[in-house]
Structure 1
């Protein structure tokens, strides 16, 4: 098995790495199990015989792990939704989603400091209580990490501290009382 690792910084630069060594793979999987700590603490160091790269954790927007093996079981999902990265083909098509009964399917675009953008489909079960739904909406920025599935296998971790804003389409009627109501111009 191999894992392709892509580190996307807040400068909107992507660095790609490939792991094929079994011991290195297990260490990466162990780090995925502790993904809630991914963007805090010591720098992220990725090294080989040829070079060593050191990333300031606060300057990382996302880390993606591409693999044929399903890695989603190794990352905790504190949300009541599943985020999946949209392919360029899916982005070109009109989005078909909305709120239906207990379920929802929406598009969420995450805009990071530095210009990186993640286009995702979010699916899940709506919380019954309005307060819980509002908490989900307002607590994105407070989470230590958010995970998403890659369209062609693997998982990604995004750093909520690096998110400048996000857009949900279609919009939700459940807005906090102090939200500004306005249409895009």
Structure 2
């Protein structure tokens, strides 16, 4: 099995690596099992016989893993939310969101330090209690890591500490009392 790894930094630079060999890929899968700690602690080091790169964890926006094998069972649970990177065709289509009963489907665009943007389709179970829905809305930035699926297979991990803002379309119907009500100008 091979794993393609992409590290995106707050400098809006993407570095790509290819991992082959069972020992190397097993080590990466083991790291995915501890994905909630991906952006804390020691630097991320990716090395080979020809070079070694060291990334400060605080400067990592996203780490993406592409593989023929489904890697989603190895990452931390996304609670009641599944994020999938949008394809160019989905990005070109008008935004269609759904808030029906217990189900929702919306577009969420994440904007990161350095300019990287991650366009996702979010689907999940809408919590019955208003307090839980508001907590879901505001807790994105408090999580240690958020996972998402790549459009053509694989998983990604985003560092919420590097998110400058996120945009939900259509807008959330339930807003906190202290939210400012205004339209984009």
The TM-score bracket by the shorter chain reads over 0.9
1:66-95 CA-partner distances (Å, limit 9, x unpaired): 111110000112431100000112111112
Q: Measure how far apart 1:148 and its partner are.
A: 0.1
Correspondence list, 1:71-150, <5 A? 71-150=71-150
Aligned residue in 2 for 1:5: 5
Q: Measure how far apart 1:170 and its partner are.
A: 0.4
How many pairs does the alignment contain?
185
Aligned residue in 1 for 2:151: 151
Aligned residue in 2 for 1:37: 37
Aligned residue in 2 for 1:28: 28
SS where residue 65 of structure 1 aligns? strand
Unaligned runs of 5+ in 2: none
Correspondence list, 1:44-59, <5 A? 44-59=44-59
Aligned residue in 2 for 1:18: 18
Q: Distance in 2 between matches of 1:58 and 1:134?
A: 27
CA contact (8 A) 1:65 1:155 kept: yes
Q: Distance in 2 between matches of 1:130 and 1:109?
A: 23
SS where residue 27 of structure 1 aligns? helix
Q: Distance in 2 between matches of 1:33 and 1:73?
A: 9
Q: Distance in 1 between matches of 2:99 and 2:26?
A: 39
Superposition TM-score, scaled by structure 1 size: 0.98
Superposition TM-score, scaled by structure 2 size: 0.98
Unaligned runs of 5+ in 1: none
SS where residue 12 of structure 2 aligns? coil
Q: Distance in 1 between matches of 2:96 and 2:67?
A: 28
SS where residue 139 of structure 1 aligns? helix
Displaced runs of 4 or more, over 4 A? none
Q: Distance in 2 between matches of 1:82 and 1:152?
A: 15
Q: Measure how far apart 1:97 and its partner are.
A: 2.0
Q: Measure how far apart 1:63 and its partner are.
A: 0.2
CA contact (8 A) 1:79 1:136 kept: no
